[in-house]
Structure 1
């Protein structure tokens, strides 16, 4: 432990990092597309669209040259379906709940910062990982989409911490970029929606093969 970095603040991306939400993202995306009269997208297509927020996802999911106002209607449909949908296919990745509980036991500050829209973040955390985070943020007017560091810096401040004491975990290159822009440690995960090699190439300071490995970088008690 002595030769490893240690942090008392951990902030997490959501989709592809702590929760495997992709199966439900496919369902909700295709429901929104069907309502607009558009063809459905495959699992792999939706996978290629995630990571930059809901608007980016749906703008790619609708057919090419779709007028913006129609694409925006699809975004609104997605939000409505998501809030009504029970997300029964979403689940935490292995070792996530117990590792988060142990981090809390050790006195660590825990937060979530996602490019998912803010209402969706609060809903899915309340369903899948209730009571484990001190601060939760999704994209909204006050929280710009990553890799803008403003949202991460605000989350760190709300946790009463500093970038130097903070590690941000994610499964996309933008997650590592936002961590570095904020002055925090960027931890890449190998199980998410981007490959481990992509995460290494993005400059991850640390790579995790299992979520439970995160305990090696937390204070011992």
Structure 2
């Protein structure tokens, strides 16, 4: 889909990570199931886990444990997940076709690049360093001071650190939560249809624009 006629020039390109920049689902599924196994809980299929992702590791753990699990058990699975992800969570991850080339072209055109994910910040930094070294100007995930999307604080922090007004930024994500966060931050909300959420659900976030491949990002530059 084409960029909106008459929209402001976009100088800041901020991206969700899981399902937008990278195909992380195989690792998320493997690590989640290992975290569950350590607590004696049964595993899930990759397709089931796909429906759990997008709201951070704690939310994933809460959805993955069996009905009736205690909050203490949820916390144990969450801690297992974080520990395992830091050690093993990148072995099955791959970038979506054309993503690195697109990011490099944006960089060449003088655009600022950022990441804002609901993944815990340590995981964001590890993944960025492996797959996109030197390409991003700022990157953040969930911390004690950065709440999960759709809260706009993380996106607004990215804009400030890039020295840009939110209206000159676009946020690219594969979930309705990403799009709501973009609207809350006053940014262009661009839905990535190649990610983990169905098109029907993605549209509930009221995208300004929908795009179907990473190369389509360049139309905003």
Q: What band does the TM-score fall into relative to the shorter chain?
A: over 0.9
CA distance in structure 1 between the aligned counterparts of 2:80 and 2:168, rounded to whole angstroms: 40
Is the CA contact 2:142–2:148 (under 8 Å) kept in the aligned structure 1?
yes
Question: How many pairs does the alignment contain?
Answer: 218
Find the partner of 1:156 among 155, 159, 165.
Answer: 159
Where does residue 8 of structure 1 map in the other structure? 11
Is the CA contact 2:119–2:141 (under 8 Å) kept in the aligned structure 1?
yes
Residues 163 and 190 (structure 1), Cα distance of their counterparts in 2 relative to 1, 3 Å cut: same
1:62 aligns with 2:61: no
Q: TM-score, length-normalised on structure 1?
A: 0.95
Is the CA contact 1:4–1:217 (under 8 Å) kept in the aligned structure 2?
no
SS of alignment partner, residue 91 of structure 2: coil
Find the partner of 2:100 among 88, 97, 101.
Answer: 97
SS of alignment partner, residue 49 of structure 1: coil
Could you list the per-position Cα deviations for residues 44-72 of structure 1 after superposition, in whole angstroms to 9, with x for gaps in the alignment? Answer: 11111001110000011011111111110
Residues 2 and 205 (structure 1), Cα distance of their counterparts in 2 relative to 1, 3 Å cut: closer
Instruction: Flag as ranges the 4+ runs of structure 1 deviating above 6 A.
Output: none
How far did residue 200 of structure 1 move?
A: 2.8
1:73 aligns with 2:64: no
How far did residue 199 of structure 1 move?
A: 2.2
How do 1:1-221 residues align onto structure 2 when only pairs under 5 Å count? 3=5, 5=7, 6-85=9-88, 87-218=90-221
Instruction: Give 5+ residue unaligned stretches, structure 2.
Output: none
Is the CA contact 1:189–1:196 (under 8 Å) kept in the aligned structure 2?
no
CA distance in structure 1 between the aligned counterparts of 2:203 and 2:37, rounded to whole angstroms: 37
CA distance in structure 1 between the aligned counterparts of 2:201 and 2:144, rounded to whole angstroms: 30
How far did residue 209 of structure 1 move?
A: 1.1
CA distance in structure 2 between the aligned counterparts of 1:95 and 1:3, rounded to whole angstroms: 25
Instruction: Give 5+ residue unaligned stretches, structure 1.
Output: none
The RMSD of aligned alpha carbons is 1.4
Q: TM-score, length-normalised on structure 2?
A: 0.95
Could you list the per-position Cα deviations for residues 150-170 of structure 1 after superposition, in whole angstroms to 9, with x for gaps in the alignment? Answer: 111111111110111000000
CA distance in structure 2 between the aligned counterparts of 1:152 and 1:33, rounded to whole angstroms: 32
Answer with 39-48 or 194-203: which moved more. 194-203
